[in-house]
Amino acid sequence: MKSCSLFLPVLVGTLLSAATADAGTLVHINFEASTRSTNAGGKVVNTPVTGHKVVRECARNRAPPVAPASLALVLDVDSGRVSVVDRATGTNVCEVFQFDEITSAADADSGYKVRHLRVRDPGAAQSAGSAVANERSSRDDNGVLVKYHLNGKFHLSYPSVDGSAPKVCNGTFNTGRRFTPTAPVPVQ
């Protein structure tokens, strides 16, 4: 496939074991990216990749395949993990990438923060990238997160591995509303 290796775990169907994505606060995230690589003819080619495409590939690579509408792309605000989850249960289906904090400049009064993040692909150990993001958040009197928004730009590179062409990816991301599983929680 000509897709960015940033999404390699999704595109080749690398699936996480059924672990519930309840480690932290989950919010919907979307992104648009371009991947530049060299094709077999030695020409640089550009391949667009979107969050919707990653969800479709993840759904198709499940065994058995599932409907893309049953999945959602989310960011775990606490861990920085971006993954595809089952909409009904919140169970991780495919891990996409990871944001790790490098440094940030914060305005303590307004909940605004500019973050410099390391971006990595958990399925490709040699991937390396970074992002600059604007974060806005607010918490209630008990410290519980009530509003969260993160948007920014990222880049990620992959060296040539086992004869594959090196890849350079860049794009933008934006979070949305809080993710809530649709299945009712059983009463115990």
The mean pLDDT value of the chain amounts to: 85
- pLDDT of 14 over the 50 cut: no
Which pTM was predicted?
A: 0.83
Q: Based on the structure, what is the number of domains in the chain?
A: 1
Q: Which domain holds residue 139?
A: 5-16+25-178
Q: What is the pLDDT of residue 2?
A: 33
Assigned domain for 184 exists: no
- pLDDT of 7 over the 90 cut: no
Q: Which two tokens stand for residue 51?
A: 């969050």
**Helix residue spans in the chain (DSSP H):** 8-11, 51-60
Q: Which two tokens stand for residue 105?
A: 């400049």
CA distances in angstroms from 179 to 108, 119, 141, 185, listed in the order given: 26, 22, 22, 15
pLDDT by residue (tens digit) across 131-151?
Answer: 999 999 988 899 888 899 999
Assigned domain for 185 exists: no
Q: What is the pLDDT of residue 143?
A: 82
pLDDT by residue (tens digit) across 28-83?
Answer: 999 999 999 999 899 999 999 999 999 999 999 988 889 999 999 999 999 999 99
DSSP state of 77: T
pLDDT by residue (tens digit) across 96-124?
Answer: 999 999 999 999 788 899 999 999 998 88
Assigned domain for 187 exists: no
Confidence of residue 187 (pLDDT cuts 50, 70, 90): low
- pLDDT of 186 over the 70 cut: no
Assigned domain for 183 exists: no
Assigned domain for 186 exists: no
Q: Which two tokens stand for residue 187?
A: 């009463």
Assigned domain for 135 exists: yes
CA atoms within 13 A on the CB side of 141: 0
DSSP run (H or E) holding 179? none
- pLDDT of 17 over the 50 cut: no
Assigned domain for 161 exists: yes
- Could you count the other beta carbons within 10 Å of the beta carbon of residue 61? 18
Q: Identify how many contiguous H helices and E strands the chain contains and give both numbers.
A: 2, 9
Residues 73, 87: Cα–Cα separation, whole Å:
9
